[in-house]
Structure 1
Amino acid sequence: MTPELRTPRLAALASAPPRPVPPPAGAAERCELCAAPLHDAHRHLLDLEKGELLCACGACSVLFDGQAAGGRHYRLIPDRRRELTGFRLDGPLWAGLGIPVDLAFFSVSGTGEVTARYPSPAGALHADVHAGSWRRLAEANPFLAELRPDVEALVVHRARDAAEHWILPIDDCYRLTALLREHWTGFTGGEAVWHHIGAFFTELRTAQAATEEMRGTR
């Protein structure tokens, strides 16, 4: 089932930075599993049955920190963000995926089905990706086998001569989708939305560089 993309939760994600930040002082944000206050940066769970994101406290995140921990109901969304340097995606490979625009994200379900989501003048659309086309892409880029079902996605941004290829947590992808819905105008999106898209990837790269620098100092 395609997650609902018009909820207040996704609208909030659209304006958030790549990593969750602490709520303002006095905010009443709470864990949506145990109702504990969320005072620090927190993780999200994906409700597989409803296709919704849930805010989770540290204790609940630990409980669901495992591929099978949530059974068929919940999955902890990982916090890794990986820029794919040297990603192989030529014109024929892209055409085979059947996406009519040059910005999309691709997620794999637990049953191996691949779904693409992409913007359009009518809003966010989704399409099933042919298994053979995805297999050819994965053969050209073997690390796609590491994509975690349901909770991670391959993000491709080829529009306007961009060359962004990332593996991102699915909450980042929902945030990008909500950003597109908020700022997209007309048939081509308008200049404002492309500015916001560029800022989205710049923030990702800045956050990744900061993480790598921190790890290098340990």
Structure 2
Amino acid sequence: MTAGLSTPRLAELARRDASAPAVPGPPAPPSERCELCAEPLPEVHRHLLDMESGDPLCACGACALLFSDTAAGGRHYRLVPDERRELTGFRLDGPLWAGLGVPVDLAFFSVDGAGAVTARYPSPAGALHASVHADSWRRLAEANPVLADLRPDVEALVVHRARGAAEHWILPVDDCYRLTALLREHWTGFAGGDAVWGHIGTFFEELKGEQ
């Protein structure tokens, strides 16, 4: 089951420039509430993706059920799935990776409703976005047919190749926001520093432990 976000605005945290000083916020409320109907939420809850802003919204069980039909939210809301899939035997050699145009060894890739692919990856300046060439993604998908099952907008292919790792997952986007926030919190210097890579390793180990 998807771990609850520590704040309903993790997307804002993930997008904030890493060079900006942290600004203390108001004390956290006693409990989170559904961002659609204000119902109190348990610690573990589902999320909706606001298609207009790109933000994940915390949702109660009733609102999650309401938007479980992909047509229910129209163009505004999509229910974020709670499945995580580790991709064993994933084929991603050097030339395939180079074709994706990502200059670092950790990134996640999402597909929108029109089939366009966006890569997101960490940098000293914060999270960066880049479009992936359609032919490069097609070659990767031909080598890995599982990518045909990637749900547009609400799931992402996550690749971690840094420091000898070989992690390949299809994760819900709220997990990707958690990972991005983790990177922002612990990233130091040009290459991230030892501490951030330790936290990233723990992130993937915890995913495996929850399967």
Question: SS of the residue aligned with 1:138?
Answer: helix
Q: Is the 8 A contact 1:30 1:55 kept in 2?
A: yes
Deviations 1:107-151 (A, max 9, x none): 000111100000011111010000000000000000101000000
Q: Is the 8 A contact 2:123 2:190 kept in 1?
A: yes
Q: Do structure 1's residue 203 and structure 2's residue 206 form an aligned pair?
A: yes
Counterpart of 1:32 in structure 2 is 35
Give me the whole-angstrom Cα distance separating, in 2, the residues matched to 1:141 and 1:117: 20
Deviations 1:21-74 (A, max 9, x none): xxxxx8231111111111352100000001111100000000000222211000
Q: Is the 8 A contact 1:11 1:179 kept in 2?
A: no
Counterpart of 2:166 in structure 1 is 163
Give the fraction of aligned pairs with identical amino acids, expressed as a percent: 81
Instruction: Within 5 Å, give how 1:5-154 maps onto structure 2.
Output: 9-10=9-10, 27-39=30-42, 41-154=44-157
Which runs of no fewer than 5 residues in structure 2 stay unpaired?
A: 1-6, 15-28
Q: If the length of structure 1 is used for normalisation, what is the TM-score? A: 0.84
Structure ranking higher in helix proportion: 1
- 1:13–1:167 distance in 2 versus 1, CA, 3 Å: farther
- 1:11–1:148 distance in 2 versus 1, CA, 3 Å: closer
Q: CA RMSD in A?
A: 1.8
Q: Which letter maps to 2:10?
A: L
Q: Is the 8 A contact 1:44 1:56 kept in 2?
A: yes
Q: Which letter maps to 1:10?
A: L
Counterpart of 1:181 in structure 2 is 184
For these two proteins, the number of residue pairs brought into alignment is: 191
Deviations 1:73-131 (A, max 9, x none): 00000000000000000000000000000000000001111000000111110100000
Q: If the length of structure 2 is used for normalisation, what is the TM-score? A: 0.87
